[in-house]
A and B are shown apart, each in its own frame.
Chain A
Amino acid sequence: MYSQKVMEHFTNPRNVGEIPDPDGVGTVGNPVCGDLMKITIKVKDNRIEDIKFLTFGCGAAIATSSMVTEMVKGKTLEEAMQVTNRAVAEALGGLPPIKMHCSNLAADALHAAIKDYLSRSNGKKAEDRGEEKT
């Protein structure tokens, strides 16, 4: 059912874990529908310096989590925001149609982590400038 690339990422997932003091955290999905993904990132000079994932989910969910972290490590935040769920599936050599929904969380979790970082850093900048937090 799964391509060799998918199985490779499933058996040897990259970047598993949780960054202890992350700059951004993105949690998407819902164990009720069978998938939950948590991505933590460390940002330096507008680039993703480090990224880790934790996933509760099937083979496709784990493989796409692993792939998305591999795809964006070292990239700028803008480049990372451009990565789509479809791009992740394609990078894995495709997924069976019935599994496509499992892959939807990977890029979403990444984007959520970046947005979290941005909202934190905006808040921090506002603080530094002595402005009120909105």
Chain B
Amino acid sequence: MRRVYLDHAATTPVHPEVVEVMKHYMLQDWGNPSSIHSFGREARAGVDEARARVAALIGADPDEIVFTGGGTEADNLAIKGTAWELRNKGDHIITSAVEHHAVLHTVEWLEKQGFRATYLPVDGYGMVDPGDVEKAITPSTILVSIMAANNEVGTVQPIAEIARICREKGVRFHTDAVQAVGQLPIDVHALGVDMLSLSGHKIYGPKGVGALYVRRGVRLTPLLHGGAHERKRRAGTEGVPGIVGLGKAAELARLHFDERVAHYRRMRDLLWERIRERVPEVRLNGHPTERLPNNLNISVLYVEGESMLLNLDMKGIAASSGSACTSGSLEPSHVLLAMGIPHEVAHGSLRMTVGVSTTEEDTDYVARSLAEIVERLRAMSPLWNARAR
């Protein structure tokens, strides 16, 4: 049976060249990078090279890169690290209602520790208004954290504008760019952000490794204490295989940037066009143009998300949904709700994110399969039947 993976926002396969580099640092140059001897130096060279590669992808200097155990840890380090470092300066944090839980739950936890937070609303497309950021800043604001692009609906946030406002007001600005890296051009010095999170397994690198860009001069209280690793910002012997894997993935993302982005956009647009041709009463969630090239998030009216996913899975197609039944809680995706999407429409949401491996034939197969599935599920749906009358 044909298998079509359309959940690249959840994770990506590891690129074979990345695997090769990782193997080398497990079978050959496996020393501890902190050791003085040649075994250590070999491993250290690999880490340095990876650091330079990650820096090059986002326009940073190598010593502004802190390797972490993933995007979530990078978010935690940026936010908690700032809160503890600047708590004598202020206690107010600004973020948005559509952030990833790694940001939201961290900020919520800090509120329990006595900090104050503002969760900015978004418009119907899921976009933050820079004017709202400006209005929310107070003399006790120590951090603004707004994601570069949303993982659920792909909406791209006006980061450059927000960074400018934060700079003018002297407030630190962090952006969770976990989904944006490799799809949107990022130059941290040109953008003027203070910190930026990224993750390996979203860009054809391994899981369990990520990085936080920290602009020179920005101080953080570390999450992990211990050795002086990562310039005393993240203790623990470097996860060399993961780090060199991330480095290689970053290099490939930079070298193949244009062709990948063009491919994602083409496949995603084809998929949407074909679905629209075959499935009536579907609507796009998120901004029509300011969205990640690989992201298609739609709502199929009168049908529920998990039942669509199960049916798609039986046809070898992998996707995700923002419905309550797939969220693990009783609520649909907080992102869709923040956008003002009615519950029943959020329940019928389907997120499909294309990747390097997606083909035209895949888009045709998925559109045809989805049409069949939706027809069957609608025949069973009291909402569809009530409407037909």
Contact = CB atoms under 8 A, between A and B. Distances in A.
Interface of A: 2, 7, 10-11, 13, 16, 18, 27, 31-38, 54-62, 98-99, 101-102
A15 B326 CA distance: 26
Given A34-B304, A34-B332, A101-B330, A56 B323 contact: no
B343 A54 contact: no
A57 B385 contact: no
Interface of B: 302-307, 310, 314, 323-326, 328, 330, 332, 343-344, 347, 379-383, 385
Contacts of B328: 98
A104 B202 CA distance: 38
Contact of A54 (B323, B325, B344, B381): B381
Contact of B382 (A55, A98, A99, A102): A55
Contacts of B305: 58
A11 B372 CA distance: 13
Chain B interface helix/strand/loop/mixed: helix
Nearest to B347: A34
Contact of B343 (A7, A13, A32, A99): A32
A58 B382 contact: no
A102 B326 CA distance: 12
Given A31-B344, A32-B344, A57 B325 contact: yes
A58 B343 CA distance: 14
B299 to A, nearest CB: 12
Nearest to A102: B325
B341 to A, nearest CB: 12
B330 A55 contact: no
A57 B330 contact: no
Given A36-B382, A36-B383, A56 B343 contact: no
Contacts, number: 71
Given A31-B344, A33-B330, A98-B328, A56 B382 contact: yes
A109 to B, nearest CB: 10
Contacts of B382: 27, 36-38, 54-56
A98 B381 CA distance: 23
Contact of B304 (A13, A56, A101): A56
Nearest to B323: A34
A58 B380 contact: no
B383 to A, nearest CB: 5
Q: Which 6 A-B pairs have the closest CB atoms?
A: A58-B325, A31-B344, A58-B306, A54-B382, A38-B382, A34-B324
A33 B380 CA distance: 18
A10 B302 contact: no
With a 10 A CB-CB cut-off, give which of A10, A55, A58 has the most chain B CB atoms: A58
Nearest to A31: B344
A62 B305 CA distance: 12
B344 A57 contact: no
A58 B307 contact: yes
A33 B343 contact: yes
Contacts of A54: 380-382, 385
Contact of B310 (A55, A59, A102): A59
A52 to B, nearest CB: 10
Contacts of A58: 304-307, 323, 325-326
A10 B330 contact: no
A73 to B, nearest CB: 18
A102 B328 CA distance: 12
Given A34-B325, A34-B347, A59 B330 contact: no
Contacts of B379: 16
B383 A56 contact: yes
A34 B330 CA distance: 9
Nearest to A11: B314
Contacts of B325: 34, 57-61, 99, 102
B230 to A, nearest CB: 38
Contacts of B310: 2, 7, 10, 59
A31 B385 contact: no
7 contacts: A18-B385, A32-B343, A34-B323, A54-B382, A59-B306, A61-B325, A62-B380
B385 A33 contact: no
Contacts of B303: 56
A42 B328 CA distance: 37
Given A33-B324, A34-B324, A55 B380 contact: yes
Contacts of B332: 34
With a 10 A CB-CB cut-off, give which of A10, A11, A13, A34 has the most chain B CB atoms: A34
A37 to B, nearest CB: 7
A38 B302 CA distance: 14
B380 A16 contact: yes
Contact of A57 (B307, B314, B326, B343): B307
Given A18-B385, A34-B347, A38-B382, A56 B324 contact: no
